[in-house]
Amino acid sequence: MFKIGNVEIENRIVMAPLAGITNKAFRSMMKEFGAGLVYSEMVSDKAICYGNKKTLEMLHVDENEHPMSMQVFGGDKESIVQAAKYIDTHAQCDIIDINMGCPVHKVLKADAGSKLLLYPEKIYEIVLGVVEAVSKPVTVKIRLGYDQEHINCVEVAQLIEKAGASGIAVHGRTRAQMYEGKADWSMIKKVKEAIHIPVIGNGDVKTPEDAKRMLEQTGVDAVMVGRAALGNPWIIQQMVAYIEHGEILHDPTPDEKLDQCLDHARRLMQVMPEKMAISQMRGHAPWYIKGLQSSAQVKNHLTRIKSYHELEAIIEAYRIYLHTQDRTWLEKVIQNLNQ
């Protein structure tokens, strides 16, 4: 267990914010698989200030998500403070997180995300402004720096702590690295040693052993898992069991993976129209079958599904193939869907 401000978090495995992915359906799923803390996908400060309907809907939090952190991004102090105040009042989240790590060009154009790492004093002013304006604990997610010539995560972390933040998450790459190369855990360790608020380590945590190694090598208070959980929510459960109890849990069976894929789709359809849910599942479904027998051909069809009926038909036909090794049923179903 660790605490961020007055929020108690029951274990040290945290689900990362992932744009377009960590909506409330996904977050609820991660909580059921044991994540101590979940983050929302990042929401735009300007969109909140303008009352954008779609963005305001993203602020909805279900009862089974707690504790959860709502992440906001922006590059302008006034609008990010205004947005944070709105979140503080209207969203049932437990923590407000400021994104200062996103490397995507669209976010950088707004002088937001990891672009802010070039302006440490501005980071201090933004965090101070948000902390003074809201009642919930405030955290910040950063990277090591903008690029190899500007690695300033220790300085930035100290300013964030000085501004009154209750915690910080550090991704062990620079903005220039995007998601390539190796995460530098030694710099995460330096951040942890330089400040007194909780630090969550992020980057290259793919297995329960990775999670334990990061905790031991860096001294961080918790470990953040991102892409490793795509199509594999069991990794959360496995990490919690390994770190908290020293238990090694078995990997899911192919049937469990296929069942979870369909469950994921149904959860999405409860919170958005089927067309939008299936659009998201075109990205998620291939992750669930990754590594299974003859998954490449099936993956190509899953990326083109247009309805839940199509998803279910392909998944169930694939299930029969995995059990019988008889391809005819699978090929017949796919042929019918293509007509």
Active site (catalytic) residues: 102
Which positions ≥6 away from 112 have C-beta within 8 Å?
73, 74, 75, 99, 100, 102
Polymer length of the chain = 339
Strands 138-143 and 95-100: parallel
Which positions ≥6 away from 1 have C-beta within 8 Å?
8, 9, 10, 11
CA distances (Å), 130 to each of 85, 165, 208, 279, in order? Answer: 8, 9, 35, 35
Q: What are residue 3's DSSP bridge partners?
A: 8
- Please answer whether residues 52 and 79 qualify as being in contact, where contact means their C-beta atoms are separated by less than 8 angstroms: no
Token pair listed for 305: 């599904």
Tokens 């998803």 belong to 311
Q: What are residue 223's DSSP bridge partners?
A: 13, 201
Longest dimension (CA), the chain: 65
Rg of the chain, C-alpha, whole Å: 21
Cα angle 306-310-316, degrees, rounded to a multiple of 5? 150
- Please answer whether residues 187 and 172 qualify as being in contact, where contact means their C-beta atoms are separated by less than 8 angstroms: yes
Cα angle 175-76-160, degrees, rounded to a multiple of 5? 60
Strand blocks (E) in the chain: 2-4, 7-9, 13-15, 37-39, 43-44, 68-73, 95-100, 138-143, 167-171, 199-202, 222-225
